[in-house]
Amino acid sequence: MTAMAGPGTGTTPKLAIGEVALRVRDLDRVARFYRDAIGLEDVPAPGGAVGLGAGGVRLLTLIGDPHARAPDALAAGLFHTAFLLPSRADLAGWLAHAIERGLAIDGASDHVVSEAIYLADPEGNGIEVYADRPASAWRWDRAGVTMDTRPLDCRGLLAAASGPAPLAPAGTRVGHIHLKVGDTIEAESFWTASLGLEVTSRRPGAVFMAADRYHHHVAANAWMSRGAGPRDPRATGLMWFSVAGRDLPAEGVADRWGNRAVPAR
């Protein structure tokens, strides 16, 4: 891998994840969850889909298909969509909102570069809501950026909240996409070649990749999906995600599991 020594710049990355499209069976229920739990607002989307976002920017497109199949838990596909909030105070306010609503939280972690909270939508699509620590505090060496999974100091985080924040603030965006794959080495080869990413961190069974010295724009793990074949194209879950800042063919690119990246619109 190419060494990525030096701190992050703290500037807006040239590469960015634009929006994520999910196929869902119960369109109304899932859309309501992203509005009420995550705080996204309605943003127009084409073709009868439901568009949701923040500050007028569409971050999520939901395509309803009541006949779609539920994917096997061990199949490749989406691990989570990661919604990046503009500040730690915004994350604290969202956590206060989540507690007030009694949302089922799957995990809460301090990743050194960021603080993150995990949950899932009603059809099992993983979600991360997170805030970055200042890029100037990220620690880089020849192996990449230092990341870890430590218990989140939820009390300390909540101290930064002025109260529950039920709406995602303007500036919220999809910070990264995390995929389940059958082989992380193959996934690394594909996504670094297709998007020009560099490996920023490796963990057993997982690889993290980014451009512009971000900690990761795309991650891939085989924790539950090792050896998985191509995804069922009729299943619920990830349909595509868009990418800004890279030249891609109009139809996008897709790895052998069917995880597809398309140009940002």
Question: Per residue in 11-53, pLDDT tens?
Answer: 444 899 999 999 999 999 999 999 999 999 999 999 999 999 9
**The two three-digit tokens of residue 151, written as one number:** 């218990």
CATH classification at residue 254: 3.10.180.10
Residue 153 lies in a domain: yes
Query: What's this model's pTM, rounded to 2 decimal places?
Result: 0.95
Q: What is the pLDDT of residues 151-187, one digit of tens each?
A: 999 999 999 999 999 999 999 999 999 999 999 999 9
**Token couple for 203:** 């963990």
Residue 76 lies in a domain: yes
2 located within any domain: no
For residue 114, being part of any structural domain is answered with yes
- The predicted-structure confidence for 82-120, as pLDDT tens digits, reads as follows 999 999 999 999 999 999 999 999 999 999 999 999 999
The boundaries of the domain holding residue 203 are 16-263
Helices marked H in 46-101 — which ranges?
A: 88-101
Is 204 among the domain residues?
A: yes
On whether residue 210 sits in a domain, the answer given is: yes
Q: Percent of the chain at pLDDT above 70?
A: 95
| Residue 180 dihedral angles phi and psi, to the nearest 5° | -100, 130
pLDDT band at 265 (very low <50, low <70, confident <90, very high): confident
Tell me the C-alpha distance between 251 and 214, whole Å. Answer: 26
Q: Please check whether residue 122 is in contact with residue 35, taking contact to mean a CB–CB distance below 8 angstroms.
A: no
What confidence tens digit (pLDDT) does each residue in 123-146 have? 999 999 999 999 999 999 999 999
Query: How far separated are the first and last CA of the chain, in Å rounded?
Result: 31
Parallel, antiparallel, or unpaired for β 144-145 and 140-141?
antiparallel
Q: Give how many domains the chain has, as a whole number.
A: 1
Which two tokens mark 54? 């923040």
Residue 6 forms part of a structural domain: no
Q: By the 8 A CB rule, do 209 and 188 touch?
A: yes
| C-alpha angle 34-36-39 in degrees, rounded to nearest 5 | 70
The residues that bridge with 203 in the sheet, in sequence order, are 206
Does 42 reside within a domain? yes
